[in-house]
A = this chain, B = another copy of it.
Amino acid sequence: MMASAGHSDRRRPSRRQLLLGGAAAGAGAAVTLGAERAGALPGSTPAPTADSAGLNGERTVPFHGPHQAGVTARPGAHATYLAFDLLPDTDRERLRAWLSLLTDDAARVTQGRGALADLEPELAVRPAGLTVTFGLGREAVLRAGAEPPDWLGPLPAFTIDRLEDRWSGGDAMVLLHGDDPTAISHLARMLARDSRSFATVRWRQDGFRRAYGSDPSGTTMRNLFGQVDGSSNLGPEDDAFGATVWAGTEAPGWLRGGTSLVLRRIAMNLEGWDEVGVEGREAAVGRRIADGAPLTGGTERDPLDLEAKGPGGFTVINPAAHAARARVEDPAQGIVRLGYSYDVPVEPGALDARGRPAVSNVGLLFGSWQRDVARQYVPMQRRLAEADLLNTWTTPIGSAVFAIPPGCEQGGFIGETLFA
- The chain A residues found within 8 Å of chain B, CB to CB, are 10-11, 29-41, 43-45, 47-62, 65, 72-74, 77-78, 119-123, 126, 128-129, 166, 179-183, 185-186, 188-189, 192-193, 195-196, 200-201, 203-204, 206, 208-220, 222, 224-226, 228, 231, 235-237, 270-271, 273-274, 276-278, 289-292, 299-301, 341, 343, 345-346, 348, 356-357, 359-360, 362
- Complex Cα distance, B47 from A217, in Å, reads 9
Select which of B34, B54, B73 is within 8 A of A300 by beta carbon. Answer: B34
A126-B215 contact given A31-B291, A277-B10, A359-B189, CB 8 Å threshold: yes
Select which of B56, B77, B346 is within 8 A of A201 by beta carbon. Answer: B346
- Complex Cα distance, B154 from A175, in Å, reads 41
| 15 A-B pairs in the complex with CB atoms less than 8 angstroms apart | A31-B291, A37-B235, A56-B214, A119-B274, A119-B276, A126-B214, A128-B213, A181-B210, A181-B341, A182-B208, A182-B224, A185-B208, A185-B343, A203-B345, A204-B345
- Complex Cα distance, B88 from A350, in Å, reads 20
Q: Are A29 and B290 in contact (CB under 8 A)?
A: yes
Closest partner residue, chain B, to A226 (CB atom): B120
Q: Are B32 and A291 in contact (CB under 8 A)?
A: yes
Q: Are B73 and A44 in contact (CB under 8 A)?
A: yes
Q: Are B291 and A186 in contact (CB under 8 A)?
A: no
Q: Are B41 and A236 in contact (CB under 8 A)?
A: yes
- Complex Cα distance, B346 from A228, in Å, reads 32
Q: Which of A33, A214, A277, A299 has the most CB of B within 10 A?
A: A214
Q: Are B359 and A50 in contact (CB under 8 A)?
A: no
A57-B129 contact given A39-B74, A74-B39, A204-B345, CB 8 Å threshold: no
Q: Are B45 and A59 in contact (CB under 8 A)?
A: yes
Closest partner residue, chain B, to A49 (CB atom): B217
Q: Are A214 and B290 in contact (CB under 8 A)?
A: no
Q: Are A57 and B192 in contact (CB under 8 A)?
A: no
Select which of B32, B72, B214 is within 8 A of A57 by beta carbon. Answer: B214
A31-B122 contact given A180-B211, A209-B182, A213-B128, CB 8 Å threshold: no
Contacts of A38 in B (CB 8 A): 218, 237
Q: Are B49 and A210 in contact (CB under 8 A)?
A: no
Q: Are A181 and B211 in contact (CB under 8 A)?
A: yes
Q: How far is the CB of A360 from chain B (nearest CB, A)?
A: 5
Closest partner residue, chain B, to A61 (CB atom): B44
Q: Are A41 and B73 in contact (CB under 8 A)?
A: yes
Q: How far is the CB of A140 from chain B (nearest CB, A)?
A: 19
Q: Are A74 and B274 in contact (CB under 8 A)?
A: no
Closest partner residue, chain B, to A54 (CB atom): B48
Given A34-B231, A44-B62, 7 more A-B residue pairs with CB atoms under 8 Å apart are A34-B300, A47-B59, A52-B53, A119-B273, A180-B214, A189-B359, A201-B357
- Complex Cα distance, B65 from A359, in Å, reads 30
Q: Are B43 and A189 in contact (CB under 8 A)?
A: no
A186-B345 contact given A57-B214, A196-B356, A215-B57, CB 8 Å threshold: no
Q: Are A45 and B72 in contact (CB under 8 A)?
A: no
- Complex Cα distance, B196 from A356, in Å, reads 9
Select which of B121, B182, B213, B359 is within 8 A of A193 by beta carbon. Answer: B359
Q: Which of A122, A212, A216, A218 has the most CB of B within 10 A?
A: A212
- Complex Cα distance, B213 from A280, in Å, reads 38
Contacts of A209 in B (CB 8 A): 182
Contacts of A78 in B (CB 8 A): 181, 211
